[in-house]
Amino acid sequence: MTKEVFPNARLSIDRFHIIQQMTRAFNTQRIQTMKQLKKSDPQAQKDYRKLKKYWRTILKKNTKLNYTSFKQFPLFQGKYMTESEVLDYLLSIDNQLRQSYEVYQELLAAFDAKDFTEFFNLIESLPHSLNDGFKKAICYLKKHTEAITNSLKYPYSNGKLEGKNNLIKVIKRIAFGFRTFRHLRMRVLIQQNICEII
């Protein structure tokens, strides 16, 4: 219907959803790796807990990792370590996880640079030994090549609109519902300083 009503429109996917697709794919593989660890092996159980606790570290962009400051991390026997050392240990648990991590970081770097040519070249040249589930989720992005290219080429985003929608949902939830739509509308306008109470 959209193509018929707006035949000359250029489709663009919100950048947040592209990142979300890649992050979910990699996070799913992390969980799969955890499930493959033997429950009978004490070391495997320790690795399981580490992968579970430090999931945010493994999903972080390389550029946001801390490589210099040392601190104590629970589950590492009170050793003083950097965040990057924790990450290195987590990736040493499984080779496929490390391989997927490297692809994930390369895709994030190309996406941040808004280099859509490099982004799709990376997807086209994925290693054969990559985890099947991760590979399938990443290859799915090829179906939306034009829309992803447009999202990197143009500065437009529906982030602000989604933010407003989320705000309205929060107001509805906090108020346990409104008797009339007019009351809800007035509450949203007051909250956004568009309308004042006299």
Angle, to 10 degrees, between the axis of helix 15-36 and the axis of helix 145-153?
120
Reading the block at residue 52, the tokens are 């579970």
Residue 14's identity, in one-letter code, is D
Checking if the pLDDT of 131 tops 90, the result is yes
**How much is the pLDDT for 129?**
92
pLDDT tens-digit series, residues 60-74 = 999 999 999 999 998
Question: What is the chain's mean pLDDT, rounded?
Answer: 91
Does the pTM surpass 0.85? The reply is no
**How much is the pLDDT for 152?**
92
Beta pairing, strands 80-81 & 71-72? antiparallel
**How much is the pLDDT for 113?**
94
Residue corresponding to tokens 């009503």? 5
From CA 120, how far away is CA 110, in angstroms rounded?
9
Whether 108 contacts 74, CB under 8 Å: no
pLDDT tens-digit series, residues 149-166 = 999 999 888 888 888 899
